């Protein structure tokens, strides 16, 4: 009663829009009120229209307990009330009780109408579009002037537009580069895990993690208490974050011990509450304190797994029986724990990668002078490095010899687990530093590299008519939210109204992020925080994939929206597990351009240019904002934006310079591109090789690989296939191109001599020198078949680290390539090398059989057979696995070819 009296006495509940003759009332609150305001504007219902139809809006300040007298007064003359509120019907049910005894009781609808049809969903988030549809459906039932009903129909049609096509790829949230969960959430074959609350929850959505379901804080493992008596499954792993453990997770462990179930709690000690921004968890906590606590609760066995087993002091007071192991032993340790009866605990101790990065920037965390580098010519593109590391810093590199791998040094958090990929292309660079970008010398009259925007006139800014809506799209963790915040602060400094809605959620970790920035002439003019459908004025697309997503496309208006987009396609996180994932730039840019008009869309590779200019890809977003500003698409002044950057207080000079470079690029893109990339001007489209160029390049390569005779063998088969295909008269060179590409792939197999040659022919040294400077040395990570030991669990060869002296060994070994294929070749006796020689001969025989019966009808099937070597990738056991699949595909396709069945596997 006191709360109700307070609300009444202070007039907190207000009529925000009134009519002299009230008929239709909307009762709402908070953010839903903003949605109502925007919905009315979108439907074209002005104050004059609202007055004519008797529409009034009542805004409630206190949703419970509901103050009754004000609501009764508002409802006195109404014949209908629509309650608009998020989630369940808290206000609606109170309003029904308050209004029940009125003599002239209005009809009350909200979540459903009088026919139980859903008007406003109780799940998810309300949007102006949903609210507008609900309001329109109720107004259509009323006796309204024809022009108002027509206006509502037109507004609805403009809002819905045509159905948006789905983008071919989506940006799903993923663990950060170097995240401990990339390793810690793995479980042994035959086991599964359950999730809880934290970043590790993302394992549920990763197909290789075998992690299912999640629950609220403090109930981790409780669902297994109920399930375990009714299943033949003997054991389960339960992930539990350190913050959650301290909050209430220990109670779940206590319950599991009391229930005497077989479960292993993997307590993920990451030293931060990472999911919500990297805060320290409440109170003091350490791995040894956790061990003592869970031991006291009655766990049967406790094991600590960490990336640095030697980091603990000798006098640390661990619980009795605790053993400490390197994370490389995680699989073995988990296999042992799942055989223990009762509750066990595995404390996985590794600092959060995002926190490592922050602390290194502040100088409070060790930053090893060590980086990973990939020799792309040795790389086979098998993707094993991505599978073992689950790391998004392992990026694709498109080359003339196919898709390889490269390490994104800007995002790499120095976890080094990618080195475990079974491939000799990985080296670690110890010492030295990343080479700073060298700015091309230019005439001082052209540009001042310290102040690149000097002398540029400020552009004419767009007029704000109602609200000016800016959508910023990008990738979580790259500063997208910062761009939105800078725009909001700059608007505030100018006395304008500004609202910012950041859509992040789990997407703060490598997923899709969108920032809705709405700027008005005055704060009182602000409506809903989300940009309504078709009403974006400017999209600053820091990431092309997100800019082409369905949610973004629905906000664009044909002829209204202006797009300034980063044309660089950053691979989606799913690439780590799908090495052949297609990411077609033309499709993505086409989706954006078609939705707003090609003349209104502009694409610039801000990632490549800004990284070259500033030395870090994080500069790309401010560069793009500067580009958009100088194009006259941002309704703010230069002074206010620069002041906002200063108030942000992070990397101020670097951010201002990135913004200035973007401005200069908008004024003279050609000049800035030449400065940033003097030897490789930005071009989205790689020049396609002709077939003749492809053959000549590969002949030269095979001559260096072995000798002229070997290269001639390659060219002879390609020419025979080319002649046979030309006789079909179709003008096609598909089969010839496939043979040119994949016969070469088989012939240039990477044995020990070839790996040695590719490290010592000068190309590798140049690539390392282009990226690193100072006093550094190289370490090589190899598993030579003759020398490497085998893993006791898997039987696979184990990689070992070799020092800089290996380059001398490579130079010697490369000179013995003449032994390849002879009886004196010591490496040629292994099964892998024998198989590689056999595959070359088999390919020649297969093509001979195909050409004897080649027709226009079976040409497509012949091409598929010729392309099978595409899937034979990797080294050792990785290559063997791919080879088994390729053999099965070849047998099926070749049988179809011989039997005259022209249906391909791709078609099936």
Three-state SS string across 759-793, please? Answer: HHCCHHHHHHHHHEEEEEEEEEEECCCCCCCECCC
Percent of the chain surpassing pLDDT 70: 94
- Is pLDDT at 550 greater than 50 in this prediction? yes
Residue 680 confidence (pLDDT): 58
Per-residue pLDDT at 276? 67
- Which residue, chain included where needed, has tokens 């549920």? 204
CA 871 to chain centroid: 25
Centre a 10 Å sphere on the Cβ of residue 197 and count the other Cβ atoms it contains: 21
CB count, 10 Å around CB of 853?
11
419: three-class secondary structure by DSSP? helix
- Rounded to 5 degrees, φ, ψ at 129 are -65, -45
Averaged pLDDT for residues 581-605? 89
- Average pLDDT of the chain? 90
Give me the mean pLDDT over the 77-97 stretch.
96
Candidates 311, 310, 292, 312; CA nearest to 302 is: 292
Q: Are 575 and 173 in contact (CB under 8 A)?
A: no
> Is 736 a residue whose pLDDT tops 50?
yes
**Dihedral angle sign, alpha carbons of residues 771, 777, 783, 784:** positive
* CA torsion angle 106 110 115 119 (round to 10): 140
Q: How far apart are CA 417 and CA 388, in angstroms?
A: 7
Q: Does the structure show a pLDDT above 70 at 613?
A: yes
Angstrom distance (rounded) from CA 320 to CA 301: 9
- What is the helix (H) or strand (E) element at residue 382, kind and residue range? none
Name all contacts of 151-158 with Cβ < 8 Å and 24+ positions apart: 151/43, 151/44, 151/45, 151/49, 152/43, 152/44, 152/45, 154/44, 155/42, 155/43, 155/44, 156/43, 156/132, 158/534
Residue 97 neighbours by CB distance under 10 Å: 10
- Of 23-32, 87-96, 686-695, 892-901, least confident by mean pLDDT is 686-695
- Residue 331's pLDDT is 94
| Mean pLDDT calculated for residue range 667-681 | 82
Q: What is the pLDDT of residue 476?
A: 84
Q: Report the pLDDT value the prediction gives residue 682, as an integer from 0 to 100.
A: 44
In the prediction, which pLDDT does 377 show? Answer: 95
| Cα-based distances in Å from 742 to 366, 749, 863, 873 | 46, 11, 11, 12
User: How much is the pLDDT for 441?
Assistant: 62
> Is 161 a residue whose pLDDT tops 80?
no
What does the block give as tokens for 237? 């792993």
Rounded mean pLDDT, 187-215: 91
pLDDT of residue 176: 87
Q: Where are the alpha helices (DSSP H) in 231-352?
A: 242-244, 250-259, 287-297, 330-337
pLDDT of residue 906: 44
The per-residue pLDDT for 442 is 57
Query: Which residues, 6+ apart, have CB-to-CB distance to 864 below 8 Å?
Result: 893, 904, 905, 906
Using alpha carbons only, give the angle 795, 801, 803 rounded to the nearest 5 degrees: 150
Q: Which of 138-152, 430-444, 880-894 has the lowest mean pLDDT?
A: 430-444
What pLDDT does residue 160 have? 54
Assess whether pLDDT exceeds 70 at residue 36.
Answer: yes
Q: What is the pLDDT of residue 148?
A: 74
pLDDT above 80 for 181: yes
The residue assigned the tokens 């974050």 is 241
908 has a pLDDT exceeding 50: no
pLDDT score of 159: 55
Q: Is the pLDDT of residue 143 over 90?
A: no
For residue 503, what pLDDT is reported? 80
Q: What pLDDT band is residue 900 in, cutting at 50, 70 and 90?
A: confident
* pLDDT band, residue 162 (cuts 50/70/90): low
Average pLDDT over residues 506-513: 74
Check residue 282 and report its DSSP letter. S
The SS3 assignment for 273 reads strand
Token pair of 349 as six digits: 């101790």
- pLDDT at residue 169 is higher than 70: yes
Instruction: Report which listed range, 173-187, 272-286, 289-303, 562-576, is most confident.
Output: 289-303
Instruction: Name the pLDDT band for 684 (thresholds 50, 70, 90).
Output: very low
The answer to whether 506 and 201 have CB atoms below 8 angstroms apart is yes
Q: Which residue in 677, 893, 896, 877 sits closest to 795, CA to CA?
A: 877
**pLDDT value at residue 525:** 81
* pLDDT in the model for residue 325: 97
Q: Residue for token digits 């790389």?
A: 379
Mean pLDDT of 277-287: 78
Give me the residues paired with residue 564 across strands: 540, 602
Instruction: Please give the Cα distance from 835 to 807 (Å, whole number).
Output: 28
């Amino acid at each position: 009663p006191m709360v109700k009296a307070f609300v009444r006495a202070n007039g907190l509940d207000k009529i925000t829009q009134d009519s002299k003759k009230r008929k239709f009332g909307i009762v709402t609150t908070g953010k839903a009120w903003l949605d109502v305001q925007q919905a009315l504007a979108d439907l074209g219902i002005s104050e004059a229209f609202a007055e004519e139809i008797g529409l009034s809006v009542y805004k409630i300040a206190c949703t419970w307990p509901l103050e009754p007298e004000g609501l009764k007064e508002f409802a006195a003359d109404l014949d209908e009330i629509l309650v608009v509120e998020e989630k369940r019907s808290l206000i609606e049910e109170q309003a029904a009780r308050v209004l029940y005894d009125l003599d002239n009781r209005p009809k009350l609808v909200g979540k459903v109408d009088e026919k139980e049809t859903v008007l406003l969903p109780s799940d998810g988030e309300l949007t102006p579009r949903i609210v507008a549809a609900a309001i329109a459906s109720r107004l259509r039932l009323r006796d309204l002037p024809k022009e108002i009903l027509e206006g509502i129909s037109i507004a609805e049609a403009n809002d819905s537009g045509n159905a948006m096509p789905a983008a071919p790829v989506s940006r799903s949230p993923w663990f950060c580069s170097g995240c401990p969960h990339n390793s810690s959430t793995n479980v042994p074959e035959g086991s599964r895990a359950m999730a809880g609350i934290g970043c590790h929850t993302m394992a549920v959505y990763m197909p290789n993690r075998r992690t299912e379901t999640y629950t609220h804080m403090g109930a981790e493992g409780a669902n297994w208490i109920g399930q375990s008596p009714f299943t033949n499954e003997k054991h389960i792993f339960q992930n539990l974050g350190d913050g959650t453990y301290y909050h209430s997770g220990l109670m779940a462990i206590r319950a599991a011990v009391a229930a005497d179930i077989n479960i292993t709690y993997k307590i993920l000690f990451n030293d931060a509450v990472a999911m919500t921004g990297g805060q320290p968890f409440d109170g003091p906590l350490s791995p040894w304190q956790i061990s003592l606590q869970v031991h006291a609760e009655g766990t049967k066995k406790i094991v600590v797994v960490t990336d640095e087993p030697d980091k603990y002091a000798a006098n640390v007071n661990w619980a009795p029986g605790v053993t400490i192991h390197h994370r490389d032993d995680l699989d073995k340790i988990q296999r042992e724990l799942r055989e223990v009866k009762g509750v066990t605990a595995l404390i996985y101790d590794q600092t959060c990668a995002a926190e490592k990065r922050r602390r290194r920037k502040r100088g409070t965390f060790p930053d090893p002078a060590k980086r990973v580098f990939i020799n792309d010519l040795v790389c086979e593109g098998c993707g094993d490095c991505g599978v073992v590391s689950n790391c998004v810093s392992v990026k694709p590199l498109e080359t003339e010899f196919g898709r390889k791998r490269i390490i994104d040094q800007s995002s790499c958090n120095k976890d080094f687990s990618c080195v475990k990929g079974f491939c000799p292309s990985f080296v670690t660079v110890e010492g030295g530093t990343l080479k700073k970008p060298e700015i091309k010398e230019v005439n001082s009259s052209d540009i001042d590299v310290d102040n690149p925007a000097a002398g540029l006139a400020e552009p004419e800014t767009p007029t704000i008519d109602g609200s000016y809506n800016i959508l910023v799209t990008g990738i979580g963790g790259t500063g997208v939210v910062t761009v939105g915040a800078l725009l909001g602060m700059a608007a505030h400094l100018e006395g304008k109204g500004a609202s910012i809605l950041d859509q992040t959620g789990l997407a703060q970790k490598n997923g899709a992020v969108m920032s809705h920035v709405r700027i008005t002439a005055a704060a009182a003019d602000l409506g809903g925080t989300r940009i309504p459908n078709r009403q974006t004025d400017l999209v600053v697309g820091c990431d092309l994939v997100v800019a082409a997503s369905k949610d973004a496309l629905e906000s664009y208006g044909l002829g209204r929206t202006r797009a300034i987009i980063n044309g660089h396609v950053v691979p989606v996180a799913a690439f780590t597990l799908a090495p052949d994932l297609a990411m077609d730039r033309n499709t993505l840019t086409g989706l954006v351009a078609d939705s707003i008009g090609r003349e209104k869309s502009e694409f610039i590779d801000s990632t490549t240019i800004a990284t070259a200019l500033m030395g870090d890809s994080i500069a790309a977003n401010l560069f793009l904002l500067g580009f958009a500003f100088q194009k006259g698409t941002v309704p703010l002044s230069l002074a206010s934006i620069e002041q906002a950057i200063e108030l942000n207080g992070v990397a101020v000079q670097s951010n201002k310079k990135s913004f200035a470079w973007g401005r200069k690029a908008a004024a003279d893109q050609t000049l800035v591109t030449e400065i940033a990339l003097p030897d490789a001007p930005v071009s989205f489209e790689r020049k396609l090789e002709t077939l003749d160029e492809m053959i000549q390049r590969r002949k030269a390569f095979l001559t260096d690989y072995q000798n002229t005779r070997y290269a001639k063998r390659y060219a002879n088969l390609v020419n025979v296939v080319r002649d046979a295909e030309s006789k079909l008269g179709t003008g096609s060179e598909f089969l010839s191109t496939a043979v040119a590409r994949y016969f070469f792939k088989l012939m240039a197999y990477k044995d020990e001599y070839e790996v040695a040659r590719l490290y010592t022919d000068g190309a590798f040294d140049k690539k390392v020198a282009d990226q690193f400077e100072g006093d550094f040395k190289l370490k090589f990570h190899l598993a030579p078949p003759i020398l490497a030991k085998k893993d006791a669990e898997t039987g696979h060869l184990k990689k070992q680290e070799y020092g800089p002296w290996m380059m001398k060994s490579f130079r010697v070994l490369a000179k013995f390539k003449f032994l390849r294929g002879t009886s004196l070749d010591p490496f040629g006796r292994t099964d892998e090398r024998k198989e590689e020689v056999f595959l070359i001969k088999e390919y020649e025989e297969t093509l001979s059989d195909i050409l004897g019966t080649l027709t226009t009808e079976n040409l497509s099937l012949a091409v598929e057979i010729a392309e099978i070597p595409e899937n034979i990738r990797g080294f050792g056991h990785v290559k063997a696995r791919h080879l088994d699949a390729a053999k099965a595909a070849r047998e099926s396709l070749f049988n179809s070819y011989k039997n005259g069945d022209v249906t391909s596997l791709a078609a099936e």
